[in-house]
Structure 1
Amino acid sequence: MKVGFFFNDPSPHSGGVFTYQQDIFRSFLELAAESHHEFHVICEHDKQEDFSALPGRPPNVHISALAAPEPPLTPRRRVVRFLRRVSGTGKRTFTKEKGPLISRPAAVLAGNQIEFTWSIGHYEHEAFDVPYITTVFDLQHRLQPWFPEVSQGGLWDIREEFFSRYVRRAAYVITGTEEGRREIKNFYRVPAKRIRVLPLPTPSFCFDPPETGNASRLQALGITGRYLYYPAQFWAHKNHANLLHALRLINDGETEPFQLALVGSDHGNIDHVRSLARTLGVDQQVLFLGFVTREDLTALYQGAFALTYASLFGPDNLPPLEAFALGCPVITSNYDGAHEQLEDAALFVDALAPESIAAAVRQLLQNPDLRQQMIEKGHIRARKWTATDYVREIFSILDEFEMVRRCWQ
């Protein structure tokens, strides 16, 4: 088949989405020659030269750019585009070709006779007549609609429109866990056989970390002793608030208090977190490190006493996998899907109960053997599923659908 591969090249500041998509794309380029399909990487017009110059691009991988957006935008379309960008659901822009108004993706698919498409993120398009794979990371607007990042300013309606349109009509929907499959089936009535579970792969950068220089990196970041670590952008659902309450309990009576290293970009909630840290009297122990380099990120994992992953959203998450691979014990919230994703390699807590988080930290503190066992289990879990495994499963799905697609021209 001729397969269109939508790759929207996210910013590093998007966090886990960037890590995941870059890893899948890199593995795709490495493995594409194993497949008999013809791939067209579909990118924005201004990215065509960058993609075309990729070293080692296999002969069955071509670069097909979308047409340049057509200015000017009407005020209404400018508002719609802004809201979609803020919500992370992609963007719609249109171009005229011989009269009718058609979408840029539809035009590039038709021009290259694409028979099937795959996107590794929430890439929105209007080319419904071409069968496609779409990916669902979470449906938290349905499960926890009270969080502002999935509800306020019309975001609930935008997310619902997106999933209703793209999930229901997809040939295959990819999700990371059986919990994710159940949610997609229950909320959008997609038949189970069209939902495929491909776990989030452990990021490849974690398997080959730098061997030296961590001490100086940590010192430069303000680390002065033992610390807990939480890489998470400052959304409300990341639950920094209850983690700060836990930190106060953990350090109560300790002669050597734990620091808490927080890494991530602000999405409107950091002022609240800073204010709460001052109110609780733990602001001197909390490091707000913002966006850090991958080298610093790795050093923080490797030096931490534990990852305290307090997020309330599931059904799967990347930071625990990164921690596993880099030898950092994991304490995690018991989000839906957590046990399935992380198996027995983590300590699970009620992240809305600060005393539960504090008890898990004390458990590792009082039992060094348990902490070492968690590190060893984490290493095993981290290597169970990689981006290579993920891409090969996608190729198997393409092979399967090829038998269907040959039924029409």
Structure 2
Amino acid sequence: MRPLRLAVMLEQALEVGGGFQQPLNDLLWLRDWATQSGNEIVVYSPYPKTLEILKEFGIEGRLRKFGVLDHVFLFLKYCGPFDLVQIALKLRSPFERALIRDGIDVVHFTSTSKRHLLLYELPFIITIFDGCHRDALEFPEVRTFGEFERREILFRLASTKAAAVIVNAPELIDDLCRRYAMERDRAVCIPFSPSTYVSQSTPEAAADAAVLAKYRLEPSYLFYPAQFWPHKNHMTLLAALANLRERGITERLVLCGSDRGGRNKINAAIRTYGLSDQISIIGFVDSAELGALYRGASALVMPSYFGPTNLPPLEAWAVGTPVIYPEAFKTQAGDAAILFDYDDPRSLADAIVDLRTDGTRERLRTAGQLRLAQFAQETEAGRLQFARHLVRLKHRLALTTR
């Protein structure tokens, strides 16, 4: 039986943060799987910068951008009746034709890609990180100007047509089965893993100090790495700092991440609260600097509304940094975080105060290491399940005529 040729799509830009780092983790595992199992992977990305990053890991990727005709196909696909035309004429999108020319058997999307809508012949595997357009539809980034409807089309077709659906939490499987009638046995749960850049970074005092000096930071700050979206809930964090200052407590905060339209409002709130001397916004940082920034922090504080899982807590646990996290995501955190109500600034302020009580930091470090080890075991089990899916898929495709 000839090797399975698996296309791996990396469609998230580096600036997305965790949405880039987790697919990179998946790719590195798939590379090892392909080597050990005698199969092949071909990596595609629309971003030249991503291809340069892949070279650091010894991976040669191929540039595959969205062409004009692909956009036309996608627009018509959203319109619905175009399906009938494609079926009658057996039309393939330029995207799919290019993959077939490359000898691809299966396409693996490492994010919830709209490009799966362009596949009529090739089977595909899809990754779904969350269902937050349903869970927190108050936020414009998942609701306005057709975004909610677009996501519904993507999620409904992806979860029912994909040969396998990769998720990061069991509760997400329940949601997809309930909302979109996904077949449960097609789901594979592979928990998030810390970014390779963080988990493999080594604590070197001089190097860490150089990173902090670059951004004019002193150790023992609160750290929140997140893009500036409304759902990231920076505003509640700022209100919590203002509440603490009213109690006579001054905490320094470091924010990093790319601006997704929320930065101006955050800047205005900082001025209104009079927090300018407590807060450093250092923008998007190099991935290699994240380990030092986590190690320099007294705690990761993450008030995001989107879950059920997130990458930063795993990265903080990986370097021994305590975590302050929403109680809504207790399933991920377990006992390895101080929990708070993400709708209540006072609750978050109290959680920050709790961090300073005797023995708390040490307890959280130990609990974080145990939690990370548990997720590592679950990730290994999920990847073995995924490998079995790929073996079955390879066998079935060998029976087809293509």
CA deviation digits over 1:47-104, x for unaligned, max 9? 99979978866xxxx97775x7656x79x959969xx9xxxxxxxxxxxxxx975213
Which residue is 1:217 aligned to? 211
C-alpha spacing 1:224/1:202, structure 2 compared with 1 (3 Å) = closer
Q: Distance in 1 between matches of 2:145 and 2:152?
A: 13
* Percent of aligned pairs sharing the same letter: 28
Given that 1:41 and 1:63 are in contact with CA atoms closer than 8 Å, whether structure 2 keeps it comes out as yes
Q: Does 1:376 align with 2:370?
A: no
SS, match of residue 153 in structure 1 = coil
Q: Distance in 1 between matches of 2:360 and 2:56?
A: 45
Given that 1:65 and 1:108 are in contact with CA atoms closer than 8 Å, whether structure 2 keeps it comes out as no
Q: Partner amino acid for 1:227?
A: Y
**Which of residues 353, 370, 395 in structure 1 aligns to 2:344?**
353
Q: Distance in 1 between matches of 2:174 and 2:166?
A: 12
Aligned residues: 382
Which residue is 2:86 aligned to? none
**Which of residues 241, 263, 273 in structure 2 aligns to 1:280?**
273
Structural mapping, 1:4-403, within 5 Å: 4-8=6-10, 10-43=12-45, 77=72, 101-123=91-113, 124-125=115-116, 126-210=118-202, 211-212=204-205, 213-224=207-218, 226-254=220-248, 257-335=250-328, 338-367=329-358, 369-385=359-375, 391-403=383-395
C-alpha spacing 1:344/1:55, structure 2 compared with 1 (3 Å) = closer
Give the deviation of 1:401 after TM superposition. 3.1
Give the deviation of 1:340 after TM superposition. 2.7
Q: Partner amino acid for 2:183?
A: P
Give the deviation of 1:388 after TM superposition. 7.0
With normalisation by structure 1, the TM-score equals: 0.83
Give the deviation of 1:22 after TM superposition. 2.0
Give the deviation of 1:20 after TM superposition. 1.3
Unpaired runs of 5+ in structure 2?
A: 79-88
Unpaired runs of 5+ in structure 1?
A: 85-98
Q: Distance in 1 between matches of 2:45 and 2:266?
A: 38
Two-structure CA RMSD over aligned residues (Å): 3.3
Given that 1:24 and 1:391 are in contact with CA atoms closer than 8 Å, whether structure 2 keeps it comes out as no
Given that 1:232 and 1:262 are in contact with CA atoms closer than 8 Å, whether structure 2 keeps it comes out as yes
Q: Distance in 2 between matches of 1:225 and 1:391?
A: 37
Given that 1:118 and 1:133 are in contact with CA atoms closer than 8 Å, whether structure 2 keeps it comes out as yes
Q: Distance in 1 between matches of 2:232 and 2:122?
A: 37
Q: Partner amino acid for 1:285?
A: Q
C-alpha spacing 1:406/1:309, structure 2 compared with 1 (3 Å) = same
Q: Distance in 2 between matches of 1:45 and 1:226?
A: 36
Q: Partner amino acid for 2:312?
A: P
Given that 2:45 and 2:62 are in contact with CA atoms closer than 8 Å, whether structure 1 keeps it comes out as yes
Give the deviation of 1:10 after TM superposition. 3.4
Q: Partner amino acid for 2:333?
A: L
Q: Distance in 2 between matches of 1:191 and 1:197?
A: 14
C-alpha spacing 1:44/1:319, structure 2 compared with 1 (3 Å) = closer
Q: Partner amino acid for 2:13?
A: S
Given that 1:2 and 1:113 are in contact with CA atoms closer than 8 Å, whether structure 2 keeps it comes out as no
SS, match of residue 158 in structure 1 = helix
Give the deviation of 1:325 after TM superposition. 0.3
With normalisation by structure 2, the TM-score equals: 0.84
More helix by share: 2
Q: Distance in 2 between matches of 1:402 and 1:69?
A: 28
